């Protein structure tokens, strides 16, 4: 299983290394944001849903322009900017309860996410040759999931700070600031990554190049449609899990946060097996099968009789759904033209975050009204629709590395 990870280029490894500390900070931030803004900061669940929605709308608005800018002016520069803004904004969330400032922070958080999304995948694909692309993206996904889990596991650190005499609110704020500062440090590693030289656009384009470009556009359109449907479903549940555990079982974030962190650890280790699964049954089948089984566990989560059962089922759902995410990202980077990977990443990020953010507002509203199971059922339905469409569009797709070599 691990043989496919040999020979990865040093610069690809540097990109993976530099992503770890920001992912730790985001793991804590995204896991705890629904609980932190409501139970700790005292804001309403509806306003919390609005903040998360504004993040998504901001990401949507910025992703395509940033993707184009990354292709034109440099993906490395865009990634550095995204990392710096993200660290500053996470700290700001911890230090204010002013609604206006929180909404401004949400806008800039979305901008930082757009910068990261538009540049990281494209830059990683630049450093990975075709046969290694699935392995590189899976290793990147492994590092991200493990780091994300560590961030969630760090949430009980507030208890330690409370033992030192800080209030619960100040303990949360200190944790946010510490992790935000650590994420900023990782930007230094990007000094070891060079920007790949890309060909300047030619004044004239051949018919073959035009056809290839149109094919890339059609492929991307199909991909982002399936992605947007599943994003709309995920938004109703995934960003709200710490709050849902509190509403359903009376569990605080100091307990549910680490559980969700363990889920991310499971996801991380599962991603390591993703290239082997794709090699054995095919990339598209690997994505469809794991997501289909995951949907069953999504629907079963709110039917659980206890927190232990619900968290266990949710853990299985999460690692099945997310273990093949790196394969999906590798797939679309391999199918679009190299010179527009940044723009493709931006479009994909935009059409993921907008429906995801809008549905978070819906999910928060439904949970606030007491309909705690309905968001899961709606998400399961949308997951199924997305998976069926994805299979219809891509069932005959063969990546270059899956095709048998020609015999002379």
178: left (phi over 0), alpha (psi -120 to 50) or beta: alpha
Residue 178, number of CB atoms within 10 A of its CB: 17
* Contact yes or no for 341/71 (Cβ under 8 A): yes
**Architecture of the 7-191+210-395 domain:** Up-down Bundle (1.20)
Instruction: Give the residue carrying structure tokens 């794709």.
Output: 278
Burial degree of 106 (CB within 10 A; 0-12, 13-18, 19+): buried
| Global pTM value | 0.70
Answer whether 326's CB lies under 8 Å from 275's CB.
no
Mean pLDDT, each 10-residue run in order, the chain (408 residues): 70 88 88 88 89 86 84 85 90 90 93 84 77 79 85 86 91 90 86 70 58 77 90 91 92 84 80 81 89 95 94 89 81 77 76 84 91 96 95 80 46
In this prediction, residue 366 carries a pLDDT of 94
Between CA 18 and CA 83 the distance in angstroms is 10
Within 10 angstroms of residue 74's Cβ, the number of other Cβ atoms is 17
Return d(Cα 375, Cα 247) in angstroms, integer.
Answer: 14
Among residues 228, 217, 225, 221, which one has the least CA distance to residue 336? Answer: 217
Hey, CA dihedral for 122, 124, 129, 134, is it positive or negative?
negative
Question: So what's the pLDDT on residue 404?
Answer: 47
Contact 155, 175 (CB under 8 A): yes
């Amino acid at each position: 299983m691990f043989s496919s990870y040999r020979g990865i280029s040093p610069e690809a490894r540097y990109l993976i290394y530099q992503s770890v500390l920001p992912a730790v900070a985001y793991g804590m931030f995204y896991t705890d944001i629904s609980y932190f803004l409501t139970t700790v900061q005292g804001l309403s669940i509806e306003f919390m849903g609005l903040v998360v929605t504004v993040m998504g709308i901001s990401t949507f608005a910025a992703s395509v322009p940033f993707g184009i800018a990354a292709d034109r002016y440099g993906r490395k520069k865009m990634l550095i900017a995204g990392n710096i803004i993200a660290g500053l904004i996470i700290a700001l969330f911890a230090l204010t309860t002013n609604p206006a400032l929180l909404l401004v922070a949400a806008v800039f958080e979305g901008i930082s996410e757009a910068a990261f999304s538009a540049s990281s995948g494209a830059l990683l694909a630049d450093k990975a040759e075709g046969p290694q692309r699935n392995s590189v993206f899976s290793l990147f996904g492994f590092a991200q999931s493990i780091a994300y889990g560590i961030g969630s596991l760090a949430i009980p650190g507030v208890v330690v700070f409370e033992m030192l005499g800080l209030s619960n609110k100040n303990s949360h704020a200190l944790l946010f600031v510490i992790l935000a500062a650590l994420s900023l440090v990782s930007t230094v590693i990007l000094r070891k990554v060079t920007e790949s030289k890309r060909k300047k656009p030619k004044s004239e384009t051949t018919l073959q190049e035009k056809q290839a470009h149109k094919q890339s556009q059609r492929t991307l359109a199909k991909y982002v449609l399936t992605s947007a449907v599943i994003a709309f479903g995920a938004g109703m549940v995934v960003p709200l899990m710490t709050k849902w555990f509190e509403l359903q079982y009376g569990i605080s974030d100091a307990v549910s946060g680490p559980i969700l962190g363990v889920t991310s650890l499971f996801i991380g280790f599962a991603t390591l097996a993703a290239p082997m699964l794709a090699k054995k049954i095919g990339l598209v089948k690997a994505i469809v099968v794991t997501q289909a089984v995951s949907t069953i566990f999504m629907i079963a989560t709110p039917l659980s009789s206890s927190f232990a059962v619900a968290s266990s089922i949710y853990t299985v759902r999460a690692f099945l759904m997310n273990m093949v995410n790196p394969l999906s990202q590798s797939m679309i980077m391999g199918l679009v033209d190299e010179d527009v990977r940044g723009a493709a990443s931006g479009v994909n990020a935009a059409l993921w975050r907008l429906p995801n953010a809008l549905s978070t507002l819906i999910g928060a509203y439904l949970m606030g009204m007491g309909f705690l199971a309905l968001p899961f059922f709606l998400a399961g339905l949308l997951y199924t629709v997305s998976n069926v469409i994805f299979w219809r569009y891509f069932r005959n797709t063969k990546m270059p590395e899956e095709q048998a070599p020609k015999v002379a």
